[in-house]
Chain A
Amino acid sequence: EAGVVQSPRYKIIEKKQPVAFWCNPISGHNTLYWYLQNLGQGPELLIRYENEEAVDDSQLPKDRFSAERLKGVDSTLKIQPAELGDSAVYLCASSEVVTGELFFGEGSRLTVL
């Protein structure tokens, strides 16, 4: 069974440019999470989806970040415009109802120059 797939794995952009990250969760997982992980720190929740509904986006900087999960499957996280402080790893995770265990993707490492 395929795990959580994210792309791109690495992205280098100049500040003020836009960037988008894509996530394909494990089949059948209704809950999808986007986390931000800075170097040496724990994952910080940006947004959580239950199916296609964003049920917790309180930590998402809405002035520059946006996310969508069309048809309750794949999700896209966008940053526009990117700032130097956005350099981090963006982790996508999914979980199913019974156990609630989070399965993470490999992450998308963003470097903003």
Chain B
Amino acid sequence: DTAVSQTPKYLVTQMGNDKSIKCEQNLGHDTMYWYKQDSKKFLKIMFSYNNKELIINETVPNRFSPKSPDKAHLNLHINSLELGDSAVYFCASSQVYTGEKLFFGSGTQLSVL
């Protein structure tokens, strides 16, 4: 059983389009995250949710809108995609939001053309 699963694995799209990435965890964790890994491999947090409540929004453009329908799901919607959005997006979860170890999904490679 995959603990943290995200779809799709690959996403190729044109500039200006809107796209979504879905994430689900079956670990019973309270906290979920979105991380972005750019071409230089730097992994940076974007958002975190604890029990469906937004905890962290790391000055991400408001074109990015996370949605957490329940604590097992955290989806990421991106409006008006730009070239600079091309990256690998990782979903992750942890038991609590105070520095507990993370479990990652396998990543979504987003390519904006």
Q: Do A and B come from one complex?
A: no
Which A residues fall within an 8 A CB radius of B? none
Q: Name B residues whose Cβ lies closer than 8 Å to a Cβ of A.
A: none
